[in-house]
């Protein structure tokens, strides 16, 4: 859900820059919106790395399911590739978008980034489909013993 929110924020930033600016300030406002989006995305990627690491550790050590832990680990690797490979290249190219070759390379990286985002969303949905039924089974398996009120809280077994 955070990725969808980040996409919404990025679009809103550029739309606000377009509506607030006049011909003299339009370029500066779009540049500022782009820089803000860079900060937001880098920080969101850091948060994803921490959350992914915690989830993967919980699945490895807590649930002990290889399928779930592997899927979570794969998503963590995807985020790491985004954060350490794709995003730095995009950030370095963002300052040179007036150059046609830099703009083309930025567009390709932006498309790769988008595909990776869709992959993460699909992977998280798959993980949720696997995890939610297993949590329901565990909560339904709890055996609750009735309390005998005649003995003031004594539990009959």
Q: How many domains, in total, are found in the chain? A: 1
Number of Cα atoms under 13 Å in the Cβ half of residue 35: 7
- In order of 6, 26, 39, 122, the CA distances from 88 in angstroms are 18, 26, 12, 24
Rounded CA-CA distance 30/154 in Å is: 69
Element (H, E) at 154: strand 154-155
Range of the domain at 6: 2-155
Model pLDDT for residues 66-95, shown as the tens digit of each residue: 899 999 999 999 999 999 999 999 999 988
Model pLDDT for residues 3-18, shown as the tens digit of each residue: 888 889 999 999 999 9
**Average pLDDT for residues 105-109, to the nearest whole number?**
95
pLDDT at 149: 61
Residues 6 or more apart from 32 whose CB is under 8 A from it?
17
Residue 1 has pLDDT above 90, yes or no: no
């Amino acid at each position: 859900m955070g990725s969808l929110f980040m996409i919404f924020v990025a679009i809103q930033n550029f739309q606000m820059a377009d509506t607030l600016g006049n011909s003299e300030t339009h370029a500066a406002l779009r540049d500022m919106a782009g820089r803000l989006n860079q900060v937001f995305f880098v920080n969101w990627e850091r948060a994803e790395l921490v959350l992914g690491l915690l989830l993967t550790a919980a699945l490895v050590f807590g649930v002990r399911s290889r399928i779930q832990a592997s899927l979570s680990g794969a998503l963590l690797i995807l985020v790491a590739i985004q954060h350490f490979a794709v995003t730095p290249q995009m950030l370095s190219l963002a300052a040179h978008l007036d150059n046609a070759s830099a703009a083309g390379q930025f567009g390709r990286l932006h498309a790769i980034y988008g595909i990776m985002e869709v992959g993460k969303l699909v992977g998280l949905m798959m993980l949720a489909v696997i995890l939610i039924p297993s949590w329901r089974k565990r909560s339904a398996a709890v055996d609750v013993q009735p309390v005998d009120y005649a003995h003031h809280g004594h539990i009959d077994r």
